[in-house]
Amino acid sequence: GVVPIAPYNPRNTDHPKDIEYRVEDRITEHSEDVQLKQSVLDETYNHRTGVERTNDAVKDCGLGHVRARGRVHARTEVFLALCLRLVIAITNYERGNEPGCEKL
């Protein structure tokens, strides 16, 4: 029952909906009181790239897939992943490599 903050693809249907994100349709179907701000959806989706890059950095360092359930666990795992990315940036800088590189 979870719908990600992901773009709606109108090419997959003969009757496209007037929505930008898939979650908008789910909210309309199941709730009369909830309204979504387009700017919040846009901001949330734009942060997705950073999350995916962090997940890839964790995998590249051999720490496996990021799997956390619950807000506290997810926040802890993200904090550790960001610490890891900082260590990678510092190490690359000290080695004379590009600090923005995601791999050592």
Number of domains in the chain: 1
In this structure, is residue 72 part of a structural domain? yes
pLDDT value at position 103?
A: 63
Tell me the C-alpha distance between 56 and 61, whole Å: 9
* H helices present in the chain, as ranges: 22-30, 38-46, 48-60, 71-94
pLDDT value at position 66?
A: 66
The gap from C-alpha 101 to its chain's centroid, in whole angstroms, comes to 19
In this structure, is residue 87 part of a structural domain? yes
Tell me the C-alpha distance between 56 and 50, whole Å: 10
CA of 54: how far to CAs of 35, 47, 66, 104, in Å? Answer: 30, 11, 9, 14
DSSP code, position 61: T
pLDDT value at position 29?
A: 77
In this structure, is residue 79 part of a structural domain? yes
**Residue whose entry in the numeric block shows the structure tokens 């923005």:** 100
Residue 85: strand, helix, or coil: helix
Q: pLDDT by residue (tens digit) across 1-56?
A: 667 777 877 887 888 888 887 788 888 777 778 777 888 888 888 877 777 777 77
Domain that holds residue 70: 37-95
pLDDT value at position 82?
A: 79
Confidence bin at 62 (pLDDT 50/70/90): low
In this structure, is residue 75 part of a structural domain? yes
**Residue whose entry in the numeric block shows the structure tokens 């791999």:** 103
Q: pLDDT by residue (tens digit) across 74-99?
A: 778 778 877 887 888 888 888 888 77
In this structure, is residue 54 part of a structural domain? yes
In this structure, is residue 4 part of a structural domain? no
Residue 63 in this model has a pLDDT that exceeds 70: no
In this structure, is residue 70 part of a structural domain? yes
